[in-house]
Structure 1
């Protein structure tokens, strides 16, 4: 990654925080892994102060822990964490689906949604769990984009960061993949029909199903 030394201080802090978030999403940083501020500062070409401020932001967001005399480490998720995250996602993404149904117009947004759906559906049919994870994320992102509510998108997107880490270890069986794909179909049908309340209900059911699967990983 190119050094950030010329970036404005606030921008540099956000860029360091985003770098760590992306590392959590992709599995570069594992649960319990220590983050050495001096190593991050050297790697990213920023000051220790910038890294420490970024770590403080991520601690406030619940993604890392700042431990006395031990520095920072990636936070592990408890069952309560997963339950609370999915309760929030259920409300937020249900609202996003309802807004998407109300806002959908024109060929381009419809195409983005259907393309994302087809990719997830193909992955589910092929029982390709890694491909499904990626396509599923794209499908949900397409709906958030259609919601056209930047604040909702920001909050909902933040909630997915720690969940991505769990998804890397998740192995859905064929029945679960098919059930998830069927949920996508119902959500998309409701959105394309402009039925906001049905879209909300179908998305809430889908997120609730995903949450139940995730809970297995922290038992």
Structure 2
């Protein structure tokens, strides 16, 4: 049987209190690190395009260009429509250093959707941390999507003074994916932000006949 004298009890209580103080003192500090981290880094290139399930051409083309950009060492992000579309769009815009707008004839159309190319284009224009890189995939420029709101936005943001990349070989033929990817990379390099969106190439270049 152990008999605890008052001095021992006081000493043990003091040591336990000190231990608790040290233990709990680190908790707020660790928690504050997460709170003070701020927004995510802008370290990728967002690929923005308007595509529908009944017209997969633009989506397939963007996927090829994405692979080619990855092979060139460019970190890219394209919204996965099989997931939560809104969360994907916010993630893509939140971490975008550049946004490549694949401007077909319906790009920038304002629809009833909350997350669409109209919103992406408007956000990229208003956010000076995002460099906008338009790719012309329609014969008439700027794009003239259905609806006045989309037409007005495209005319204002993608007017004649905006530098664009030619994405058409002819009126109905897109430029080869590897050629467009090289043009996009050169444009990013010219903007001086290539080092901010660089990565180790994880994917092999896709073949044009795939």
* TM-score, normalised relative to structure 2: 0.25
* TM-score, normalised relative to structure 1: 0.25
Higher helix fraction (1 or 2): 1
Higher strand fraction (1 or 2): 2
- Bigger Rg over Cα: 2
